Amino acid sequence: MTTTIGDGTGPTAQDVTELILRIFRLNGALLAAGDRLVGELGLTSARWQLLGGIADQENPLSVAQLARKIGVTRQAVQRIANELEAGGVIAFRANPRHKRAQLIELTTLGRRLFERSMKLQRPWAAALGRDLTASQISEACATLEALFVALDHTAMAGTGSGTAFGKRPEQDG
């Protein structure tokens, strides 16, 4: 049986499921490709993602804030952050707003490492997008954002798990 959504003019539940499954497959492929891309720098996709989440902030974030921003658990960020701190890539500093929730910042080594990773990433991303139009990219971004919003709405309505972390990264103050 095909379950229609809304007034029946939109996608079916099967259509949405197919999109979700493709996102899962793409996520796995992107993680594997990222590991290959930045592996020569001693990074993994998870470490690179964390560095990116730190690098694009004007002000340092706590572990919990960074976890919400990049869409992973606080525990995962804490584990990776501890490893990166031991390697001199990031540093923890006191948080004037919270005694126990330290802030994370890139060290000079961390900034250099992130810059090197992005020098590898830019031509890779350009090659990935070579056969796509700007309109296709824009539509894909809009579709993913709409799915994210719908996921949040299911959490607020109590009809599903919603986002794993309760807040969209942009909502974190």
DSSP letters of 6-61? Answer: TTTTS-BHHHHHHHHHHHHHHHHHHHHHHHHHHGGGT--HHHHHHHHHHHT-SS-E
Within a domain: 141: yes
Q: Is the pLDDT of residue 158 over 80?
A: no
Q: 118 and 138 share a domain?
A: no
Q: Indicate the average pLDDT of the chain.
A: 88
pLDDT given at position 49: 95
Q: 109 and 140 share a domain?
A: no
Predicted structure pTM score: 0.80
Nearest alpha carbon to residue 143 among 54, 52, 22: 22
Residue 144: domain span:
132-161
pLDDT given at position 171: 42
Residue range 149-168: average pLDDT? 66
Label residue 9 by pLDDT band (50, 70, 90). confident
Residue range 28-37: average pLDDT? 97
pLDDT given at position 163: 52
Q: 62 and 144 share a domain?
A: no
* Total count of domains within the chain: 2
Percent of the chain with pLDDT over 90: 73
Q: 98 and 143 share a domain?
A: no
